Amino acid sequence: MLIKLKTDSRIPLHEQIATGVRRAIQEEQVGVGDRLPAARELARALDVNMHTVLRAYAALRDEGVIEMRRGRGAVVIGEVSRVQVRASLRGVVADARRIGLSDTDILDELQGAL
């Protein structure tokens, strides 16, 4: 699993870490049941504050991608297919915003696709 950070990017560091984990799941570099590196270990390797990593993990937990277990750290629980769909949707939303569609327009488009 490769996680990269652009320190001069406008995207917050914790968001970049979360994106890295999502991509790793999407590309099947990590799967259900796999343990993510300990927050402290990852923070040290990436040269960021441990709370930045924890914030990324918390976001992933809220999305149902990982579970935080005492003693075992962060474990991947999200099914790859579900995470993939979510990632694709994020891409679609980003594309739609880029060409100037409003959130209502995007919802309309989604509704149409359903």
Told to check if 73 binds another protein by CB under 8 A, we report no
Question: Among 11, 32, 45, 89, which residue sits at the site for another protein (rule: CB under 8 A)?
Answer: 45
- Does 66 participate in binding another protein (rule CB under 8 A)? no
Among 11, 12, 29, 103, contact with another protein (rule: CB under 8 A): 29
Q: For residues 69 and 75, is the Cβ–Cβ distance under 8 A?
A: yes
Indicate whether 6 belongs to the interface with another protein (CB under 8 A).
yes
Q: Is the dihedral of CA 101, 26, 50, 61 positive or negative?
A: positive
**Radius of gyration from C-alpha coordinates of the chain:** 16
